[in-house]
Structure formats: structure tokens, C-alpha cells
Chain A
Amino acid sequence: AQSVTQPDIHITVSEGASLELRCNYSYGATPYLFWYVQSPGQGLQLLLKYFSGDTLVQGIKGFEAEFKRSQSSFNLRKPSVHWSDAAEYFCAVGAGGGNKLTFGTGTQLKVEL
């Protein structure tokens, strides 16, 4: 069974600083990987996804993520954080059958002005 670990529960960065959110997964085959963002009281919005090809994927809002098979990681990055990026970020893995997603426990991002 697949699993996802997000080791950082809370992260605080200053506006304009760079950001990296960590995600490690466990899955026997090539996974489908996703990053979602959730604002308070809202649903989840997809930032980016990876299922094959170039291991560096670009997403919305200036985010990118890099798939590293050797490290079983799919870390999310942004070069310059904006105050509006404050939210909770979830990494998820989809099995090859494509139905259910397994989510990490999330990383709460706080942005200091």
C-alpha cells in the first residue's frame, strides 16, 4: 500500500524568501504524484502533478516540484513566497489504477510580512 510523509507540520517563511516543502512517498511502482493547496474553510486546489517524463514539473502560482526516484521524494518549491501563499499544502500519491489518492498529513505554511 502506498503512503506519503510530509515531515514538516508547520513552516514559517518571510515574504520574498524561497520555500521548499518536503514530501516522501512509498509506492512499489512509478507513482502519480500531486501537490494540492487548501485555504482555510475551502476545498483543495491542484498546484501541479507528475506522472511521467520531465522530473521537474511546473505548476500554477509559480510553484514547481521535482520528482527524485532515488530519494522517493517530490518536494515543492517556490523561489519567492507571497503573503497570499499562506495555506495548508498536501502532497498525494495515486496508485496506478488511478482511483484513490493517499494524502500526507499536510504542511501549514505561515508567511511573515
Chain B
Amino acid sequence: NAGVMQNPRHLVRRRGQEARLRCSPMKGHSHVYWYRQLPEEGLKFMVYLQKENIIDESGMPKERFSAEFPKEGPSILRIQQVVRGDSAAYFCASSPNGQGRHEQYFGPGTRLTVT
């Protein structure tokens, strides 16, 4: 049973370009979470999605960031017009449902570097 998959593992973008980060949840999981980890910091929640629905985006920056989890295919975190401050590790996690007692399984992360 494959775990949570994220690609690419490393992504380099110049300022102003777009970054697309992909996350395939574990088989049977329909809930996806995105977190961002800045250097020397813990993970910060960004967004929580179910298939075709954004449930909680309270941690998403208001501009340039968007997320989707279509009926088919991976979840996508999209960052438009990247700036140096977007450099971070972005982790995706999945769970079988949204109940708190169920752990979130984390992917290996995508490390975004903005030059």
C-alpha cells in the first residue's frame, strides 16, 4: 500500500513564476491537508480539502495561493508569481476521514526554492 506521494520532491522557481505541487493521498483516503514548513519552524496548516471541496482554507495566504482536489487525480497546491518568502517545504497529508482521532499520514514533502 503506497503512502502519500508528492512530486516533485524539489522545485526551483524564479521570482514571478508559478509553482505547482502535487499530492496523491493514500489509497482509500479522501481527505487531504497541506502544511508549510519554513526554515527553523514547525509546520503550519494551510488548507484542508475533500474531493472537489475546500473545507477549511483558514491558513492559506489570501493572494497567489490556491488549492484543489479534483474528483480524479492528485491534489494540487498552486502558487502564482512566487516570491523569495515562499521558499519552504510543503507537506501534504491524508486521512481516511476528517475525524480527529484518525492520524494524518504525511508525504515526503516538496522543497520549493525561489531564486
CB distance A101 to B108 under 8 Å? Answer: no
Minimum CB–CB distance from B2 to chain A (whole Å) comes to 13
Given contacts A90-B42, A105-B42, A106-B42, contact A99 B101 (CB under 8 A): no
CB distance A32 to B41 under 8 Å? Answer: no
CB distance B106 to A99 under 8 Å? Answer: no
Please tell me the number of chain B residues within 8 Å of chain A, measured between CB atoms.
29
CB distance A98 to B91 under 8 Å? Answer: no
| CA distance in complex: A100, B4 (Å) | 17
Asked if A43 CB lies within 8 Å of chain B CBs, one says yes
Asked if A42 CB lies within 8 Å of chain B CBs, one says yes
User: Which of A49, A100, A101, A102 is packed against the most chain B CB atoms within 10 Å?
Assistant: A100
Please tell me the number of chain A residues within 8 Å of chain B, measured between CB atoms.
27
Q: Report B's interface with A, CB cutoff 8 A.
A: 4, 31, 33, 35, 41-45, 48, 55-56, 58-59, 91, 93, 97-109
Q: Report A's interface with B, CB cutoff 8 A.
A: 4, 32, 34, 36, 42-46, 49, 51-52, 90, 92, 94-106
Interface of B is mostly: loop
| CA distance in complex: A2, B104 (Å) | 18
Inside 8 A of B55's CB, which chain A residues have their CB?
99
CB distance B100 to A94 under 8 Å? Answer: yes
Given contacts A95-B100, A100-B59, contact A44 B106 (CB under 8 A): yes
CB distance B106 to A101 under 8 Å? Answer: no
Inside 8 A of B31's CB, which chain A residues have their CB?
99
CB distance A98 to B43 under 8 Å? Answer: no
Chain A minimum-CB-distance residue to B9? A41
| CA distance in complex: A42, B55 (Å) | 27
Given contacts A43-B107, A43-B109, A45-B106, contact A98 B101 (CB under 8 A): yes
Inside 8 A of A97's CB, which chain B residues have their CB?
98, 100
